[in-house]
């Protein structure tokens, strides 16, 4: 394991340059991790046939989406292992190890032979690689959310912590940007299907090593270093975590609808635009890239707004608009025939979702004391995302293949409504934050 230097001296708490460096270092590592994670989804349009033979493209996508969903099952395990590590050994060590594991998973996918070469072993090994990535990204969310929330000042915690989703979305943007470059400049459609899809995974492995270096030079957070001395068994333990049942239920409830909406309008949307709307793969990639770029820029704006008005009003805004608008938005989008029309509808949806994405990390971090904060953020979140976010693509494609695509729209609506009930009944963590304690 990488040793955490507990004798290092932190810069003064008012040193803005150190704080910005810490946030940048934590965020860049987060960006690389999520690039590796999303590269699978972005390029699955091209490698689905490599690992799953057959003539029905929807069935091939269902199979790749199934492995995408199974990868999410490892996220609760990652949330537990890395959350416990972060609460006992430090946030820095957990974040460094998670990015190293992601690099290995990406390399495995990059050089994996197809079904025509090694038969059934191909999809099995693809699953193994995805499980490793799921373990890594499951640990990444809780530890990076905790780190960014703890290094931020009280007055700007919503703003600074929003950069977790800036880089999370940024990872998907880099994956899509690379896809656009390969599609339009360097490779033909046939080359993309044959071997071009391997390029992003090689790049991801290299970027992970760069992030590994950056994270190894980060300072540990003051909150972790200064926490009260307690028996090691209490730090990052399930027993200690279960002493906060209300906070755990809030994390599950506020995540449920938000994560499903997020994965619907980001990860699944690229396939929806091709499979349902009827756009070409190139048009879908371009539209998704542009909408996500604006979406990423919205996160600090909403995060800063939460520092002024509180977290709860933004969450309630997402809950109300998400409940009322999901079915009309997706129904209208499915019948849209122009790129501009699709772009406008998608941006409307992402604007609504920003009320959740921009602040959900800091809200969770503010619910837990320092000794179980990373575990409290990461584990219940990862379980909820595995169940609802990880199955979003699979369920959407399954409903479409069954001839009842609109059922999925209502499913998303009901989940957001459940989260809305949580938002209405919870306290505003801006005013009750345990980070200050």
Quick one: which of 238, 239, 240, 295 has its CA closest to 265? 295
What is the reported pLDDT for 206?
86
With a CB cutoff of 8 Å and minimum separation 6, the contacts of 343 are: 287, 290, 291
In a domain, 10, yes or no: no
What is the reported pLDDT for 124?
85
In a domain, 264, yes or no: yes
- Give the range of the structural domain holding residue 276, as residue numbers without chain letter: 22-217+240-425
What is the reported pLDDT for 3?
43
In a domain, 409, yes or no: yes
d(C-alpha 405, C-alpha 391), whole Å? 15
In a domain, 433, yes or no: no
What is the reported pLDDT for 277?
86
What is the reported pLDDT for 64?
74
In a domain, 6, yes or no: no
In a domain, 285, yes or no: yes
What is the reported pLDDT for 198?
92
What is the reported pLDDT for 5?
46
Give the CATH number for residue 417.
1.20.1250.20
101-147 pLDDT, tens digit each: 888 888 898 999 988 888 888 888 888 888 888 888 888 888 888 88
Residues in the chain: 437
Q: pTM of this prediction?
A: 0.81
Number of domains within the chain: 1
What is the reported pLDDT for 13?
53
What is the reported pLDDT for 236?
63
Identify the segments of the chain with pLDDT beneath 50.
1-7, 233
In a domain, 230, yes or no: no
In a domain, 369, yes or no: yes
d(C-alpha 334, C-alpha 282), whole Å? 18
What is the reported pLDDT for 25?
73
What is the reported pLDDT for 118?
87
Quick one: which of 42, 17, 77, 30 has its CA closest to 383? 77
């Amino acid at each position: 394991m990488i040793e955490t230097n507990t004798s290092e001296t932190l810069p003064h708490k008012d040193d803005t340059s150190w704080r910005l460096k810490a946030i940048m270092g934590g965020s860049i590592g987060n960006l690389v991790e999520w690039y590796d994670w999303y590269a699978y989804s972005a390029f699955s349009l091209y490698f689905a046939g490599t690992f799953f033979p057959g003539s029905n493209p929807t069935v091939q996508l269902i199979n790749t989406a199934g492995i995408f969903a199974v990868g999410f099952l490892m996220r609760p395990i990652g949330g537990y292992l890395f959350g416990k590590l972060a609460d006992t050994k430090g946030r820095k060590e957990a974040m460094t190890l998670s990015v190293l594991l992601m690099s290995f998973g990406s390399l495995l996918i990059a050089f994996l032979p197809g079904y025509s070469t090694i038969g059934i072993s191909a999809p099995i090994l693809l699953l193994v690689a995805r499980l490793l990535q799921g373990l890594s990204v499951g640990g990444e969310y809780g530890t990076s959310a905790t780190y960014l929330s703890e290094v931020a000042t009280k007055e700007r915690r919503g703003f600074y912590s929003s950069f977790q989703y800036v880089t999370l979305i940024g990872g998907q943007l880099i994956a899509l940007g690379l896809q656009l470059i390969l599609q339009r400049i360097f490779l033909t459609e046939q080359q993309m299907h044959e071997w071009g899809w391997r390029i992003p995974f090689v790049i991801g492995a290299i970027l992970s090593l760069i992030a590994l270096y950056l994270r190894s030079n980060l300072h540990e957070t003051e909150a972790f270093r200064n926490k009260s001395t307690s028996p090691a068994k209490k730090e990052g333990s399930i027993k200690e975590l279960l002493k906060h049942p209300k906070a755990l239920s809030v994390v599950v409830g506020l995540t449920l609808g938000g994560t499903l909406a997020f994965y619907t309008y980001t990860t699944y949307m690229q396939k929806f635009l091709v499979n349902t709307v009827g756009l070409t793969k190139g048009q879908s990639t371009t539209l998704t890239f542009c909408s996500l770029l604006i979406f990423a820029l919205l996160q600090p704006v909403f995060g800063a707004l939460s520092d002024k008005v509180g977290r709860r009003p933004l969450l309630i805004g997402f809950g109300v608009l998400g409940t009322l608008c999901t079915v009309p938005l997706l129904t209208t989008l499915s019948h849209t025939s122009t790129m501009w029309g699709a772009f406008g509808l998608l941006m409307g949806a992402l604007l609504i979702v920003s009320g959740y994405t921009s602040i959900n990390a800091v809200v969770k971090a503010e619910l837990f004391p320092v000794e179980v904060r990373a575990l409290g953020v990461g584990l219940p979140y990862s379980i909820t995302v595995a169940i609802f976010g990880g199955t979003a693509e699979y369920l959407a494609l399954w409903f479409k293949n069954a001839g009842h695509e609109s059922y999925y729209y209502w499913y998303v609506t009901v989940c957001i409504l459940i989260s809305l009930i949580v938002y209405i009944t919870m306290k505003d963590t801006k005013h009750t934050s345990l980070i200050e304690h």
